[in-house]
Structure 1
Amino acid sequence: MSLPAPTADNRAVVTGASSGIGTALAEELASRGYSLILIARRGDLLAELGQRLTERYGITAEVRAVDLSNREQRAPLAQELASRNIAILCNNAGVATFGPLAKLDLAFERDIMELNAVAVHDLSLAVMPGMIERRAGGILITGSAAGNMPIPNNATYAASKAFTNSFSESLRGELKEYGVHVTLLAPGPVRTDNPDQEEVGTKIPEFIWVTAPHTAKITIDALARNKMRVVPGLISKGMSLAGQFGPRSLTSVVVGAAYKKMGN
């Protein structure tokens, strides 16, 4: 089975669409003819993106300014998606923090778990029954190479991405018989226009980064083929393999030390 073709009625949903990989995924899907539902907190940026994609590709772009870490805001969105013809759901929104957990804003760390893990679960469950009924659809989940290993000084993010990585690959096995594709995007560092990335970006060598447009293209291609996992970039592939097969007592120390520098 292939992904549903774009129609006037169906939509591709992208969370975290206001910047970075989310913006690149939205543009990639629009270039393939999909009309969109764009979701993020910053409605002004979504409106600008929606207008640009509509003018460039002739698609329809709906905007939903929602804080996905907030359950009260998320619930009506999940209800709407459950009632719509969703061809593709890109569960992309996510946030990372760096440093010892005890020294971070603990309320914000709880919000990260809601955003990175619980919201992914909620929205996937919302669209899943419709996709099963239509026997077609695609769910993309942005996990991370960080979800393959314990990472001191990145504890909440790594744990939340461990959930998304496992959830995505488990769900794929369950939905395959219904013709529903599920693909995990597990990137390492991806260069984006997100200003929050600037300080961290100076502490990571330039050759490690891959671009957001390249990541978006190979990811949607992988979803179309129902590939289990896509890991963009050679360095990211090395990080992924080290996290999956390296001794965790060693990898957690090495990577944790590097993340401590980013926290500082």
Structure 2
Amino acid sequence: MKPILDKAREDHYAVAAPNVLDYKTIDVAIKTAEKKNAPIILNVTFETNDDLSTFVNYAKDKAIHSKVPVAINLDHGGDYEQIIKSLKMDFTSIMVDRSMLEFEDNIKEVSEIVKIAHTLGCSVEAELGHVGTNIGADSEGMLGSNTIITEEDKKATFTKVEEAVEYVERTKVDCLAVAIGTVHGLYPKGLKPSIDFELLKKLRDAVKVPLVIHGGSGSGDDNLARACKEGICKVNICSDLLKKGREYINNGYLKDSDDMLTKLMYPLPAYYAGYSDMLEYYIDLFKSTNKA
């Protein structure tokens, strides 16, 4: 992942990092990237598949034969044992999430993993500050107990510039996920996130590795386009891709010649079409089209 993101940093665009949840979404994500002649980063979670090794091997085979650069990234890697297991697979990068730890503990754990990963030729992403979550919120405005509701909730965990500089120097990570206003998951209806672009500028100027934002879905086209232009090099997206897939199913997105029974019995083609169209839209928005 490092060379893909280093190029994005140099040329002021961002690479889309969609979550791939099954074998078909691996195919769809890579084909969409090839259509746009864009690099792509496949985000895989440890819970994606019961046989994760086979799943990652499948992604690796597709990546090797792809016409565009493809990275396979472990998203939000968990405990030490899980990380080591992942390094034995064919991931090209791992995201080590220790953002809930105290600063020194975060550095200690991530530094140890970076040494091992770099020995094996694997890139490492880490997070400083903490990107909150909208788990429990849906597009109709129903809120759950874990929902980030106010801007104050987010600002309390924003990334600090001085800490980010020290963190990168001490851990030797290849890229850094920062908290500047986005959150994971769907936003409640009517809630629009704000991005601290002044903080982003300071981070971009001070930190010498590519910056990442998690929680791209629902963050607003203007916000994301500007963030990618002004320093973000990787944008994680998932909820919007899944949401668009569901919309296509609900709207009966198949050819007019297909009868209603076909649409009801075989919804998955519509789902994957929605996923692909939304991913294509974001690739254009992030300005990575024709950057392969």
Q: Which interval holds the TM-score relative to the shorter structure?
A: 0.3 to 0.5
Per the normalisation by structure 2, the TM-score is 0.36
Per the normalisation by structure 1, the TM-score is 0.39
